[in-house]
């Protein structure tokens, strides 16, 4: 009986701990982020990438991805959710999953499904 209660307690703590990390990631995401590099490559001087996350609830939200090249900007809307320290971003009906490796107020790092490291700084 004691062993069963211990297993149940550990399972509950794991779920609560995971949810709180996900909620913390979502709180820190809220706002505008400039993409510093993708796969170790910085954008050219004439281009920029900005992701704006708008938190809607504890683990999800929406936002925009703005790409600027040669003084022309293009913006696409997306939705996202955070689960198990991964961000699932849905843009134009396609879902991309990013594994968050660092989430601080002054830097966000995440790895996409191709294995490229995205480094973002708050705007």
pLDDT digits (tens, 9 = 90+) for 13-57: 344 444 588 999 999 999 999 999 999 999 999 999 999 999 999
**Tens digit of each residue's pLDDT (9 = 90 or more) over 71-100:** 899 999 999 999 999 999 999 999 999 999
Distance in angstroms (rounded) separating the CA atoms of residues 107 and 83: 19
H runs (alpha helix) in the chain: 2-29
* Boundaries of domain holding 20: 2-122
Per the structure, how many domains does the chain have? 1
What integer pLDDT is reported at residue 19 of this predicted model? 59
pLDDT band at 8 (very low <50, low <70, confident <90, very high): very low
Which CATH number covers residue 63? 2.40.128.20
What integer pLDDT is reported at residue 105 of this predicted model? 87
């Amino acid at each position: 009986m004691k062993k069963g209660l211990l297993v149940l307690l550990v399972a509950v703590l794991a779920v609560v701990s995971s949810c709180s990390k996900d909620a913390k990631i979502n709180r820190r995401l809220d706002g505008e982020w400039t993409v510093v590099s993708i796969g170790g490559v910085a954008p050219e001087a004439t281009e920029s990438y900005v992701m704006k996350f708008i938190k809607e609830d504890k683990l999800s939200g929406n936002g925009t991805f703005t790409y600027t090249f040669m003084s022309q900007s293009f913006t696409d809307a997306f939705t996202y959710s955070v689960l198990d320290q991964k961000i699932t971003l849905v843009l134009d009906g396609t879902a991309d999953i990013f594994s968050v490796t660092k989430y601080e107020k002054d830097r966000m790092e995440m790895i996409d499904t191709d294995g490229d490291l995205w480094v973002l700084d708050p705007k």
